[in-house]
Structure 1
């Protein structure tokens, strides 16, 4: 088993998350615009329809895990595995997520994420409003970047959601493309068509999202009240 020392703490792989919550929405975007945004990675966006790609915006609240408690926002572009160029709805079954933005609010997870997996983590401030509906704001260097408002979804039976999932994630840092396999189990899951609104600020992250046509209507949104995860070491691609 490999080990990493982060801020004086030794982490033995895999890193485990015992409890987290998730709010997520998937959006259709222009494939050429999405490709232009992530071209630096060398990856190819997955075109589920001709000229269309999918971007998933996600907020995670890690409550109990090896990296501590923190909030994390992600802009994830669905991409083909390296060296493949599949298209169509079936291509989504083998697609991975390229992580383009990943602000967090704690220094320890920032150092771990960048050093172990090459994730594009930066420090940010999060404002959370959790009542009948759920919303959040992400502020980076004093600039409002992105916010989302979620309407409650419909509960999905656990038999459909509790099966472990292990989709690959990709990140590009310091000239290196890395792939990380994480195993995830989700319970207390809710989904609905639409159901999520995006708000953009003046930060450069917001301008990149605007280049994709945001704000726009979500294809689908969802939440998970309990997510358990396990992350192995990243592999250079």
Structure 2
């Protein structure tokens, strides 16, 4: 079976796209499920509830150091969602039908978190090539942004777009997590929505050098529209937990349309 290819800015990318080295700093927040659902209702997906009335939102800084899309920085807002029934199966939806009430998983609770998908709601980046590739191939909502990163014992960064401050975050080092719990490769499912189309994307990941903490991160918000959306979730607040992953190897497969409208 021939591998699919995409041409971005004159460069041919053969799927899956590979990230050979990245590091990721992330913080996991518990927020109102109703507020999170209102924020992502346009996608047709339903938020995952780790406990009744509470959803999970991850904020992360990824530094891509070696990969098919080049070197760049990325700030992501990922809302954990319940995958629709046809997760991994045939496409559903048409121009006249959406996933406004998607059939599928209604799992909840911490034990089910590993089976939830990650809906990418915000994705500012600082390089044009990855912006075009992300929007064209996967429907990721990438926008151009400016980053300031302070890399020391405590990593801190600021991200802004169109001259407006989005967020400032600072991470502590946390404690080492044994590789026994983190070294197994995983395939997650990411979800995106752009120009009225919802997609799912297989996201392979292998990590090492993981550190974690309860809390462990500070967040400040600015005045950019993205910041106002996060504030509507009740942020900033103390995260449930945070993590630092010093080595991430990732692959992104072709996107599959699961809803349009």
Common fold, TM-score beyond 0.5?
yes
The CA distance in 2 between the partners of 1:88 and 1:14, in whole Å, is 32
Instruction: Using the TM superposition, give the Cα deviation of residue 92 of structure 1 relative to its aligned residue in structure 2, in angstroms.
Output: 1.5
- The equivalent of 1:167 in structure 2 is 188
2:140 alignment partner in structure 1: 119
Give the deviation of 1:93 after TM superposition: 2.5
Residue in 2 that maps onto 1:74 = 76
Match of 1:153 in 2: 174
What whole-Å deviation, never above 9, does each CA across 1:173-221 have from its counterpart, x for those lacking one? 1111100011101111100100011110000000000000000001000
Alpha-carbon distance in 2 for matches of 1:162, 1:79: 24
Give deviations 1:50-84, integer Å, cap 9, x for gaps.
10000000110000000000000000000000222
Q: Secondary structure at the match of 1:167?
A: strand
Q: CA deviation at 1:11?
A: 0.4
1:207 maps to 228
Instruction: Kindly state the Cα deviation for residue 89 of structure 1 after the two structures are TM-superposed.
Output: 2.5
Q: CA deviation at 1:155?
A: 0.8
Q: Say which of 160, 183, 203 aligns to 2:204.
A: 183
- Residue of structure 1 equivalent to 2:93: none
Output the CA distance in 1 between the equivalents of 2:245 and 2:251. Answer: 16
- Total equivalences in the alignment: 237
Supply the distance in 2 between the matched residues of 1:212 and 1:181 (Cα, whole angstroms).
Answer: 27
2:109 maps to: 88
Structure 1 residue runs without a partner (length 5+): none
Over 6 Å off, 4+ runs = none
Change (3 A) 1:159 1:86: closer
SS of alignment partner, residue 108 of structure 2: coil
Alignment of 1:13-32 (within 5 A): 13-32=15-34
| 2-structure distance, mates of 1:28, 1:188 | 25
Q: Offset at 1:160? A: 1.6
- Worse-matched range after superposition: 87-96 or 57-66: 87-96
Return the alpha-carbon distance in structure 1 between the equivalents of residues 114 and 14 of structure 2: 31
Counterpart Cα distance in 2 of 1:161 and 1:89: 17
The secondary structure found in structure 1 opposite 2:45 is coil
| Cα root mean square deviation, aligned | 0.8
What is the TM-score normalised by the length of structure 2?
Answer: 0.89
Separation in 2 of the partners of 1:73 and 1:62? 11
Aligned-partner SS, 2:39: helix
Match of 1:235 in 2: 256
* Aligned-partner Cα distance in 1 for 2:114–2:23: 24
Give the structure-1-normalised TM-score.
0.98
Q: Does 1:128 align with 2:149?
A: yes
Deviates more, 1:3-12 or 1:84-93: 84-93
For 1:99 and 1:87, the matched residues in 2 are separated by 20
Matches within 5 A, 1:18-57: 18-57=20-59
Is the partner of 2:50 in helix, strand or coil?
A: coil
Between the aligned partners of 1:93 and 1:202, the Cα distance in structure 2 is: 33
Give yes or no for the alignment of 1:195 onto 2:216. Answer: yes
CA distance in 2, matches of 1:49, 1:129: 35
CA distance in 2, matches of 1:204, 1:95: 27
Per the alignment, in what secondary structure is the counterpart of residue 108 of structure 1?
A: helix
